[in-house]
């Protein structure tokens, strides 16, 4: 009984925190800081650098939202969350925004009471193995031991894939990417499976990345995106349109370097509306009209973020692929700023 009461108290405390932040935008403004849930360490997406400053693809999105809402990309408190704790952290109000390689799925959107603000990376699940294993296709992995992060969609995809292909495997349940990396390198598993971007990022941190191959099979669709609590539409809009602003800025050629110049001199009305020199778009979301300008000045546009954190010039070396603009044959397509 005492235990139940204690647990009840905990739950209620957590829920009370969740309720307190029904209007997240006002809370964030009042607090002067954005609480952003990120991966505890996935190089290129979210990881603290040598000086302890968080950097990466997902981190940039947090900074962009902070720039839009608070006017300062540095006013972010990064909360490292594991695959298991992330949804609870969001539901309880511990974080305002979850930008953590989270796959947008039906049940998460509905049953878990989350809202996805969009897709910032189109990914798919793959396998990484040692080169000397001599495996060239995922179909040859029958009987293999596979490291898998628990509490993820990849865990379910893995089970489906092996069942569908009539193969068996031994799962090794791991809690974090760091643990998976350690187990995989120690030979605790033959293959490591997660989103291909995650594999590339993990491999980039190895001492001998050339001895590991990512198999060609992509066994699932993993649209990764930022998530917010369900029911707070205003806050959801702010995050959605911040992401759209980053994507649209790349489409229209607005960069961190030329954003001031574009705002002053661009003849294109869509750019004018985006950057706030024309119309009142900012006010409609509860922000000021310069919000998008601040975002782009702070983090650069989507393409700039991509190439600085995970692009082909970085050790992670991901090609744009599906994540190119729709005009370049990719899937990125920002809704019009009108």
Q: Where do we find the tokens 């292909």?
A: 165
90 sits near another protein (criterion: CB under 8 A): no
Please state the φ and ψ torsions of residue 91, each to the nearest 5 degrees: -65, -35
Closest separation between CB of residue 282 and another protein, Å?
A: 30
Instruction: For the segment 240-279, give every residue that binds another protein (CB under 8 A).
Output: none
Cα–Cα nearest to 152, from 84, 78, 73, 249:
84
Q: How far apart are CA 219 and CA 182, in angstroms?
A: 24
Cα–Cα nearest to 231, from 19, 65, 88:
19
Q: Which stretch binds another protein (CB under 8 A): 94-102, 137-145, 292-300, 302-310?
A: 137-145
Question: 115, 190, 195, 251: which one contacts another protein (CB under 8 A)?
Answer: 190
Question: 26, 49, 84, 208: which one contacts another protein (CB under 8 A)?
Answer: 84
Pick 12 or 284: Cβ nearer another protein: 12
Question: 26, 160, 260, 261: which one contacts another protein (CB under 8 A)?
Answer: 160
319 sits near another protein (criterion: CB under 8 A): no
Check if the beta carbon of residue 54 is closer than 8 Å to that of residue 46: yes
Question: 53, 137, 143, 216: which one contacts another protein (CB under 8 A)?
Answer: 143
Instruction: For the segment 91-110, give every residue that binds another protein (CB under 8 A).
Output: 91, 107-108
Closest separation between CB of residue 280 and another protein, Å?
A: 33
Question: 48, 171, 209, 286: which one contacts another protein (CB under 8 A)?
Answer: 171
Question: 144, 259, 271, 296: which one contacts another protein (CB under 8 A)?
Answer: 144
Sequence-ordered list of residues with C-beta below 8 angstroms from that of 125, at least 6 positions apart, any chain: 153, 154, 157, 158, 193, 194, 195, 196, 218, 219, 220, 222
Pick 160 or 261: Cβ nearer another protein: 160
Around 276, how many Cα atoms within 13 Å sit in the side-chain half-sphere?
A: 18
Q: Which stretch binds another protein (CB under 8 A): 152-160, 194-202, 203-211, 241-249?
A: 152-160
Strands (E) in the chain, as ranges, are: 34-38, 47-48, 54-55, 76-80, 97-98, 114-116, 121-123, 125-130, 144-149, 169-174, 191-195, 212-214, 222-224, 227-229
Q: How far apart are CA 53 and CA 319, in angstroms?
A: 25
3-class secondary structure, 37? strand
Tokens in use for 302?
């989507």
The contact set with another protein (CB under 8 A) reads: 1, 3-5, 7-9, 11-12, 15-16, 18-19, 83-84, 87-88, 91, 107-108, 111-113, 141-145, 150-151, 155-156, 158-160, 162-163, 169-175, 183, 186-190, 230-231
């Amino acid at each position: 009984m005492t235990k139940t009461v204690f647990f009840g108290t905990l739950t209620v405390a957590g829920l009370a925190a969740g309720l307190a932040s029904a209007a997240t935008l006002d809370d964030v403004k009042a607090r002067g800081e954005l609480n952003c849930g990120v991966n505890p360490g996935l190089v290129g997406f979210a990881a603290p650098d040598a000086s302890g400053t968080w950097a990466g693809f997902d981190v940039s999105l947090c900074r962009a939202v902070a720039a839009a809402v608070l006017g300062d990309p540095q006013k972010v408190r990064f909360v490292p969350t594991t695959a298991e704790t992330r949804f609870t952290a969001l539901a309880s109000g511990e974080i305002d925004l979850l930008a953590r390689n989270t796959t947008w799925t039906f049940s998460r959107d509905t049953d878990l009471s989350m809202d996805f603000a969009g897709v910032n990376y189109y990914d798919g699940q793959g396998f990484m193995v040692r080169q000397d294993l001599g495996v060239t296709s995922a179909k040859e992995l029958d009987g293999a031991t596979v490291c898998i992060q628990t509490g993820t969609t990849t865990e379910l995809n893995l089970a489906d894939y092996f069942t569908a292909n009539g193969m068996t495997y031994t799962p090794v349940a791991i809690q974090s990417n760091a643990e998976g990396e350690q187990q995989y390198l120690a030979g605790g598993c033959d293959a490591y499976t997660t989103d291909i971007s995650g594999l590339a990022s993990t491999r980039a941190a190895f001492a001998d990345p050339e001895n590991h191959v990512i198999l060609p099979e992509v066994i699932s669709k993993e649209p990764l995106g930022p998530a917010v609590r369900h029911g707070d539409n205003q806050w959801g809009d702010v995050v959605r349109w911040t992401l759209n602003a980053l994507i649209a800025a790349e489409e229209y050629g607005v960069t961190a370097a030329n954003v001031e110049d574009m705002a002053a001199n661009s003849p294109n009305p869509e750019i004018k509306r985006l950057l706030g020199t024309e119309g009142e778009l900012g006010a409609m979301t509860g922000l000021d009209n310069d919000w998008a300008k601040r975002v782009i000045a702070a983090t650069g546009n989507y393409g700039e973020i991509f190439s600085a954190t995970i692009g082909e010039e970085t050790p992670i070396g991901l090609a744009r692929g599906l994540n190119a603009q729709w005009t370049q044959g990719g899937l990125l397509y920002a809704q019009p700023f009108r």
